[in-house]
Protein backbone atom coordinates (compact mmCIF):
# COMPACT_ATOMS: atom_id res chain seq x y z
CA UNK A 1 0.00 0.00 0.00
CA UNK A 2 1.44 3.35 -1.01
CA UNK A 3 2.06 5.83 1.80
CA UNK A 4 -0.37 8.72 2.09
CA UNK A 5 1.52 11.97 1.84
CA UNK A 6 0.15 15.12 3.30
CA UNK A 7 -0.32 18.18 1.03
CA UNK A 8 2.74 19.91 2.52
CA UNK A 9 5.08 16.97 1.80
CA UNK A 10 3.70 16.54 -1.71
CA UNK A 11 4.31 20.22 -2.41
CA UNK A 12 7.93 19.95 -1.26
CA UNK A 13 8.53 16.84 -3.36
CA UNK A 14 7.01 18.52 -6.39
CA UNK A 15 9.21 21.59 -5.95
CA UNK A 16 12.36 19.50 -5.52
CA UNK A 17 11.50 17.45 -8.60
CA UNK A 18 11.00 20.59 -10.67
CA UNK A 19 14.36 21.97 -9.52
CA UNK A 20 16.09 18.71 -10.43
CA UNK A 21 14.52 18.75 -13.90
CA UNK A 22 15.54 22.36 -14.45
CA UNK A 23 19.09 21.79 -13.23
CA UNK A 24 19.58 18.63 -15.27
CA UNK A 25 18.01 20.22 -18.34
CA UNK A 26 20.16 23.34 -17.98
CA UNK A 27 23.35 21.34 -17.63
CA UNK A 28 22.48 19.12 -20.58
CA UNK A 29 21.87 22.13 -22.81
CA UNK A 30 25.36 23.57 -22.38
CA UNK A 31 27.98 22.26 -24.77
CA UNK A 32 31.59 23.30 -25.29
CA UNK A 33 32.60 24.47 -28.78
CA UNK A 34 33.16 21.90 -31.50
CA UNK A 35 34.52 22.64 -34.98
CA UNK A 36 32.28 21.76 -37.91
CA UNK A 37 34.56 23.42 -40.50
CA UNK A 38 38.31 23.42 -39.98
CA UNK A 39 40.78 25.49 -42.03
CA UNK A 40 43.24 23.65 -44.23
CA UNK A 41 46.92 24.34 -44.87
CA UNK A 42 47.40 26.38 -48.03
CA UNK A 43 50.13 27.18 -50.54
CA UNK A 44 49.45 30.52 -52.20
CA UNK A 45 51.22 32.71 -54.71
CA UNK A 46 52.72 36.10 -53.92
CA UNK A 47 50.32 38.85 -54.91
CA UNK A 48 47.39 36.44 -54.75
CA UNK A 49 44.75 35.58 -52.16
CA UNK A 50 44.40 33.12 -49.29
CA UNK A 51 41.16 32.42 -47.39
CA UNK A 52 40.85 30.21 -44.32
CA UNK A 53 37.32 29.10 -43.37
CA UNK A 54 36.47 28.15 -39.79
CA UNK A 55 33.11 27.41 -38.14
CA UNK A 56 32.09 25.96 -34.78
CA UNK A 57 28.98 24.88 -32.92
CA UNK A 58 28.12 24.69 -29.23
CA UNK A 59 25.72 25.99 -26.60
CA UNK A 60 25.89 28.88 -25.96
CA UNK A 61 26.75 29.61 -29.57
CA UNK A 62 30.53 30.11 -29.75
CA UNK A 63 32.36 33.09 -31.20
CA UNK A 64 35.13 32.38 -33.70
CA UNK A 65 38.19 34.64 -33.97
CA UNK A 66 41.53 34.47 -35.78
CA UNK A 67 45.00 34.86 -34.27
CA UNK A 68 48.56 34.99 -35.53
CA UNK A 69 51.26 34.08 -33.02
CA UNK A 70 48.68 34.23 -30.24
CA UNK A 71 47.53 37.75 -31.09
CA UNK A 72 44.50 38.91 -33.02
CA UNK A 73 45.31 39.44 -36.68
CA UNK A 74 45.74 43.13 -37.41
CA UNK A 75 46.74 44.40 -40.83
CA UNK A 76 45.20 46.30 -43.72
CA UNK A 77 45.75 43.21 -45.87
CA UNK A 78 44.02 40.91 -43.36
CA UNK A 79 40.24 40.84 -43.19
CA UNK A 80 37.95 38.72 -41.02
CA UNK A 81 34.48 38.13 -42.44
CA UNK A 82 32.04 36.69 -39.90
CA UNK A 83 29.01 34.52 -40.69
CA UNK A 84 26.51 32.31 -38.85
CA UNK A 85 26.16 34.88 -36.07
CA UNK A 86 29.94 35.01 -35.43
CA UNK A 87 30.11 31.21 -35.04
CA UNK A 88 32.00 31.18 -38.34
CA UNK A 89 34.72 33.43 -39.73
CA UNK A 90 36.80 33.62 -42.89
CA UNK A 91 40.34 34.97 -42.62
CA UNK A 92 41.21 36.57 -45.96
CA UNK A 93 44.71 37.77 -46.78
CA UNK A 94 45.23 39.89 -49.89
CA UNK A 95 47.62 40.53 -51.50
CA UNK A 96 49.87 37.79 -50.19
CA UNK A 97 53.44 38.74 -49.33
CA UNK A 98 56.42 36.44 -48.96
CA UNK A 99 57.92 35.73 -46.53
CA UNK A 100 56.02 37.98 -44.08
CA UNK A 101 52.67 36.18 -44.41
CA UNK A 102 54.13 32.70 -44.05
CA UNK A 103 53.00 31.53 -40.65
CA UNK A 104 50.67 29.29 -38.66
CA UNK A 105 47.28 30.90 -38.12
CA UNK A 106 44.97 29.98 -35.25
CA UNK A 107 41.19 29.75 -35.31
CA UNK A 108 39.78 30.07 -31.78
CA UNK A 109 36.20 29.11 -30.86
CA UNK A 110 35.03 30.19 -27.41
CA UNK A 111 31.87 30.18 -25.33
CA UNK A 112 31.14 30.21 -21.59
CA UNK A 113 31.72 26.46 -21.39
CA UNK A 114 35.13 26.22 -23.03
CA UNK A 115 37.62 27.18 -25.73
CA UNK A 116 39.23 25.22 -28.56
CA UNK A 117 41.85 26.07 -31.17
CA UNK A 118 42.75 24.70 -34.59
CA UNK A 119 45.78 25.67 -36.67
CA UNK A 120 46.43 26.15 -40.39
CA UNK A 121 49.74 26.83 -42.09
CA UNK A 122 50.19 29.31 -44.93
CA UNK A 123 53.06 29.01 -47.41
CA UNK A 124 53.56 31.79 -49.98
CA UNK A 125 55.62 31.24 -53.15
CA UNK A 126 56.83 33.67 -55.76
CA UNK A 127 55.75 33.03 -59.36
CA UNK A 128 59.26 31.81 -60.23
CA UNK A 129 59.10 29.30 -57.34
CA UNK A 130 55.83 27.63 -58.34
CA UNK A 131 56.10 23.86 -58.74
CA UNK A 132 54.94 22.08 -61.92
CA UNK A 133 51.20 21.53 -61.85
CA UNK A 134 50.40 24.61 -59.74
CA UNK A 135 46.79 25.63 -60.52
CA UNK A 136 46.11 28.20 -63.21
CA UNK A 137 42.84 30.00 -63.93
CA UNK A 138 42.32 29.59 -67.68
CA UNK A 139 38.98 31.41 -67.71
CA UNK A 140 37.55 33.40 -64.84
CA UNK A 141 34.08 34.86 -64.26
CA UNK A 142 33.09 38.07 -66.03
CA UNK A 143 30.80 40.95 -65.16
CA UNK A 144 27.19 39.86 -65.69
CA UNK A 145 23.79 41.53 -65.51
CA UNK A 146 20.77 39.23 -65.35
CA UNK A 147 17.04 39.79 -65.04
CA UNK A 148 15.45 38.56 -61.83
CA UNK A 149 14.06 34.98 -62.08
CA UNK A 150 16.36 34.22 -65.03
CA UNK A 151 19.37 31.87 -64.92
CA UNK A 152 22.84 33.32 -64.41
CA UNK A 153 25.99 31.34 -65.15
CA UNK A 154 29.38 32.44 -63.84
CA UNK A 155 32.10 30.71 -65.86
CA UNK A 156 35.35 29.26 -64.59
CA UNK A 157 37.94 26.91 -66.04
CA UNK A 158 41.25 25.90 -64.47
CA UNK A 159 44.18 23.61 -65.19
CA UNK A 160 46.92 21.98 -63.14
CA UNK A 161 48.33 18.62 -62.15
CA UNK A 162 46.53 16.94 -60.54
CA UNK A 163 43.34 18.46 -61.95
CA UNK A 164 42.33 21.23 -59.54
CA UNK A 165 39.08 21.27 -57.61
CA UNK A 166 37.04 24.41 -58.26
CA UNK A 167 35.11 26.16 -55.50
CA UNK A 168 33.41 29.54 -55.34
CA UNK A 169 33.33 32.56 -53.05
CA UNK A 170 30.68 35.30 -53.00
CA UNK A 171 31.52 38.52 -51.19
CA UNK A 172 34.52 36.71 -49.63
CA UNK A 173 32.36 33.92 -48.15
CA UNK A 174 32.29 30.34 -49.50
CA UNK A 175 29.34 29.40 -51.72
CA UNK A 176 27.56 26.22 -50.59
CA UNK A 177 25.30 24.98 -53.42
CA UNK A 178 23.85 22.28 -51.15
CA UNK A 179 22.21 25.00 -49.02
CA UNK A 180 20.20 26.43 -51.94
CA UNK A 181 17.60 23.63 -52.36
CA UNK A 182 18.95 22.90 -55.83
CA UNK A 183 18.66 26.48 -57.09
CA UNK A 184 22.45 26.93 -57.24
CA UNK A 185 24.56 24.25 -58.92
CA UNK A 186 28.22 23.86 -59.73
CA UNK A 187 28.51 22.31 -63.17
CA UNK A 188 31.09 19.69 -64.13
CA UNK A 189 32.93 22.39 -66.08
CA UNK A 190 33.42 24.34 -62.83
CA UNK A 191 30.89 27.04 -63.73
CA UNK A 192 28.40 28.22 -61.12
CA UNK A 193 24.79 28.14 -62.34
CA UNK A 194 22.19 30.20 -60.46
CA UNK A 195 18.58 29.47 -61.41
CA UNK A 196 15.66 31.83 -60.68
CA UNK A 197 18.04 34.65 -59.82
CA UNK A 198 17.17 36.78 -56.81
CA UNK A 199 18.50 40.10 -55.57
CA UNK A 200 20.31 38.23 -52.80
CA UNK A 201 22.43 36.54 -55.50
CA UNK A 202 23.91 39.90 -56.44
CA UNK A 203 27.52 40.29 -55.37
CA UNK A 204 31.19 39.76 -56.14
CA UNK A 205 32.14 36.23 -57.23
CA UNK A 206 35.53 34.49 -57.36
CA UNK A 207 36.38 30.96 -58.43
CA UNK A 208 39.21 29.16 -56.66
CA UNK A 209 41.34 26.34 -58.10
CA UNK A 210 42.97 24.02 -55.56
CA UNK A 211 45.19 20.96 -55.85
CA UNK A 212 48.06 19.45 -53.90
CA UNK A 213 50.48 21.98 -55.43
CA UNK A 214 48.61 25.07 -54.23
CA UNK A 215 45.69 27.48 -54.52
CA UNK A 216 44.94 30.20 -57.07
CA UNK A 217 42.05 32.69 -57.15
CA UNK A 218 40.40 34.23 -60.19
CA UNK A 219 39.89 37.96 -60.49
CA UNK A 220 36.55 38.91 -58.93
CA UNK A 221 33.50 39.59 -61.11
CA UNK A 222 30.24 41.26 -60.14
CA UNK A 223 26.82 39.75 -60.75
CA UNK A 224 23.96 42.26 -60.90
CA UNK A 225 20.33 41.12 -60.63
CA UNK A 226 17.79 43.63 -61.91
CA UNK A 227 14.05 43.85 -62.43
CA UNK A 228 13.04 43.90 -66.10
CA UNK A 229 12.45 47.56 -66.81
CA UNK A 230 12.71 49.79 -69.83
CA UNK A 231 16.21 51.15 -69.97
CA UNK A 232 17.97 48.21 -68.25
CA UNK A 233 20.34 48.04 -71.24
CA UNK A 234 21.48 51.58 -70.40
CA UNK A 235 22.28 50.37 -66.89
CA UNK A 236 24.24 47.43 -68.29
CA UNK A 237 26.43 49.54 -70.56
CA UNK A 238 26.99 52.13 -67.83
CA UNK A 239 28.04 49.36 -65.41
CA UNK A 240 30.22 47.69 -68.05
CA UNK A 241 32.18 50.81 -68.92
CA UNK A 242 32.48 51.81 -65.26
CA UNK A 243 33.97 48.36 -64.60
CA UNK A 244 36.40 48.68 -67.53
CA UNK A 245 37.71 52.11 -66.56
CA UNK A 246 38.08 51.27 -62.86
CA UNK A 247 39.68 47.85 -63.31
Q: Is residue 113 part of a domain?
A: yes
d(CA 203, CA 218): 15
The predicted-structure confidence for 220-229, as pLDDT tens digits, reads as follows: 999 999 987 6
Q: Is residue 183 part of a domain?
A: yes
Structural domains in the chain (count): 2
Q: Is residue 80 part of a domain?
A: yes
Q: Based on the domain organization, do 191 and 114 belong to the same domain? A: no
Q: Is residue 14 part of a domain?
A: no
Q: Based on the domain organization, do 41 and 78 belong to the same domain? A: yes
The predicted-structure confidence for 56-81, as pLDDT tens digits, reads as follows: 999 999 999 999 988 999 889 999 99
Contact by Cβ (8 Å): 117, 142: no
Contact by Cβ (8 Å): 112, 63: no
Q: Is residue 242 part of a domain?
A: no
d(CA 63, CA 118): 14
pLDDT of residue 204: 98
d(CA 216, CA 43): 9
**Residue-range definition of the domain harbouring residue 220:** 136-226
pLDDT of residue 24: 44
Q: Is residue 155 part of a domain?
A: yes
Region for residue 231 given its phi and psi (left: phi exceeds 0; alpha: psi -120 to 50; beta: otherwise): left
pLDDT of residue 74: 83
Q: Tell me which DSSP letter residue 229 carries.
A: -
CB atoms within 10 A of CB 26: 9
The series of mean pLDDT values per 10 residues for the chain, 247 residues long, is: 51 44 54 97 98 98 94 91 97 96 97 97 97 97 97 98 98 94 95 97 98 98 86 51 50
Q: Based on the domain organization, do 145 and 174 belong to the same domain? A: yes
Q: Is residue 120 part of a domain?
A: yes
d(CA 224, CA 219): 17
Q: Based on the domain organization, do 193 and 149 belong to the same domain? A: yes
Please report, for the domain that includes residue 205, its CATH number: 2.60.40.10
Of 125, 148, 169, the residue that ends a domain is 125
- What's this model's pTM, rounded to 2 decimal places? 0.81
pLDDT of residue 237: 52
Q: Based on the domain organization, do 166 and 194 belong to the same domain? A: yes
Amino acid sequence: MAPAWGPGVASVIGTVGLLVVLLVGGCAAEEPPRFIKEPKDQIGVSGGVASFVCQATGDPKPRVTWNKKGKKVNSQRFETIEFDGSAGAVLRIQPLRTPRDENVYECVAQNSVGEITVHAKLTVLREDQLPPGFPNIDMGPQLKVVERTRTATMLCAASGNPDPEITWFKDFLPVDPSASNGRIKQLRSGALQIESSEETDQGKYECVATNSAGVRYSSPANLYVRELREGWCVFFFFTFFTHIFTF
